[in-house]
Structure 1
Amino acid sequence: MTGKEFLELDTPQPRLYLERFQRMELIQKIFNELPKADQNLCNHGSYFLAANASLCGLAGNNFFRKILHIRRAAIITAVPMAVLPFISTAAVYEAFVRQPLFSGELNCEVCAVVRGGLVGAVVGGLYPIFLAIPLNGSLAARYSSSPLPGKENLLRFWLSIAQPVFRKMSWGVLVQVLTGLYLATKHHGIYVKILQQMNSSRDPEELQGWS
């Protein structure tokens, strides 16, 4: 390696990546020293939000089946309505709330809490209901359980069908919003604990360079 190439490596961007990596390593080290209750809440708390999303999916699916008078393929529709919302909610919460928090990329408490509430509302509450619409629509058409309109009245038909379902599921969506807010608040609180331990164990000038 020539001297010029060596100097090109010593640029602000590689140093920034190195500092970020060292910060993530330190956060993970302190996280492993936290009480088991805090670790379990961080590692498995999103599963509670995801389980509620599965319940919302099953409830929404059941409402649509009753309205459209669908009596067949109960298990076939129940499985995706339970599994897909669970996986989607857990993955989105991990990607937009938990991982940014504990990698040091999300330091704003309000931002974290708002993200948690939005994930709970949109992915954990509304998405399972919307997912049930095409699924049950295809079953109603396949088994002719309920007369479906032509293309010109299709939107109006589904709006009238979905309206009572959304009213019944409003409490479920609210629970998901509150659950997402609660989880994000608790996760940010644990992240603050980690920062406090970092402040007490590291050089203040080094920490200032990481902020």
Structure 2
Amino acid sequence: MMSDRTQGTVAGSVTRQMIGEMLLKNLQRLPDLDQKHFQYGPFLLGGTAGLAGLIANSLYRRALNVTQAAITSSLPMAMLPFMTTATLYTGVVSGPLLHGDLNCPTCVLLRGALVGLTSGAMYPILLALPVNLALAFRYDNILKLEKGNTFRFCVDISMPIVKKMRGIILMQVLFGTYLGYMNFESYTKLVHITFAPDREELND
């Protein structure tokens, strides 16, 4: 982690934009494993989010007796959580680290956990409900609901599914936290390479 003394020295001579450029320039000097944490970490979390989307989609299809349009409903349930989670993690964790805008280990872990919880777990579950509810209405798998009963119906059908996915929700939170931890460790090495007096490269 960048020390207060180092931060003060750097801040007094260069701008925040220059710090980010220096960090990005030295990214290739990190060990391969640390580079991969930044390059592929968001996509790994996005991949597990896509898997959570497929599982949620399958559970809702069974609960609503939907047998039609299996591929049509599965594609968005895999792709949307994947893209959203990868983009969000890059925007709030790995991106700010690489640009020198995030220097708090607790904040990194918390952000990683929140991305895993919200975008990686809850978003796929919430997305699967309207997708499959619309299919159920379209193919008359369930009776038409009155407006006052729609919300209650959604809650009643979602609670068992959320309970079944508690393990996946916990996994996403832990995975997001783990990625945040590994990214911050890599960031610490990157700061050392960039701002240490000897500027020595780290070995694999």
**Superposed pair shares fold, TM > 0.5:** yes
Q: 2:186 is matched with which residue?
A: 190
Q: 1:64 is matched with which residue?
A: 60
Distance 2:195 2:54 in 1: 46
Q: 1:33 is matched with which residue?
A: 29
Query: Which of these residues, 77, 80, 102, is aligned with residue 106 of structure 1?
Result: 102
Unaligned runs of 5+ in 1: 1-14, 204-211
**What is the root-mean-square deviation of aligned Cα atoms in Å?**
1.8
Please tell me whether Structure 1 or Structure 2 has the larger radius of gyration of its CA atoms.
1
* Pairwise CA distance, 1:34: 0.9
Higher helix share: 1
* Pairwise CA distance, 1:147: 2.1
Quick one: which amino acid aligns to residue 58 of structure 2? Answer: N
Q: 2:51 is matched with which residue?
A: 55
1:93-132 equivalence runs, <5 A? 93-132=89-128
Q: 2:129 is matched with which residue?
A: 133
State the identity %.
37
Task: Calculate the TM-score normalised by the size of structure 1.
Answer: 0.85
Quick one: which amino acid aligns to residue 144 of structure 1? Answer: D
* Pairwise CA distance, 1:107: 0.3
Q: 2:72 is matched with which residue?
A: 76
Q: 1:43 is matched with which residue?
A: 39
Runs ≥4 residues deviating over 3 A: none
* Pairwise CA distance, 1:201: 2.9
Q: Could you list the per-position Cα deviations for residues 100-158 of structure 1 after superposition, in whole angstroms to 9, with x for gaps in the alignment?
A: 11100000000011000000000000000000111111101100012242111111111
* Pairwise CA distance, 1:202: 7.4
Q: 2:151 is matched with which residue?
A: 155
Distance 2:53 2:195 in 1: 44
Distance 2:153 2:159 in 1: 10
Q: Indicate whether 1:175 and 2:177 are aligned.
A: no
SS in 2 for 1:201: coil
Quick one: which amino acid aligns to residue 79 of structure 1? Answer: L
Unaligned runs of 5+ in 2: 1-10, 200-204
Q: 1:145 is matched with which residue?
A: 141
Distance 2:162 2:84 in 1: 20
Task: Calculate the TM-score normalised by the size of structure 2.
Answer: 0.88
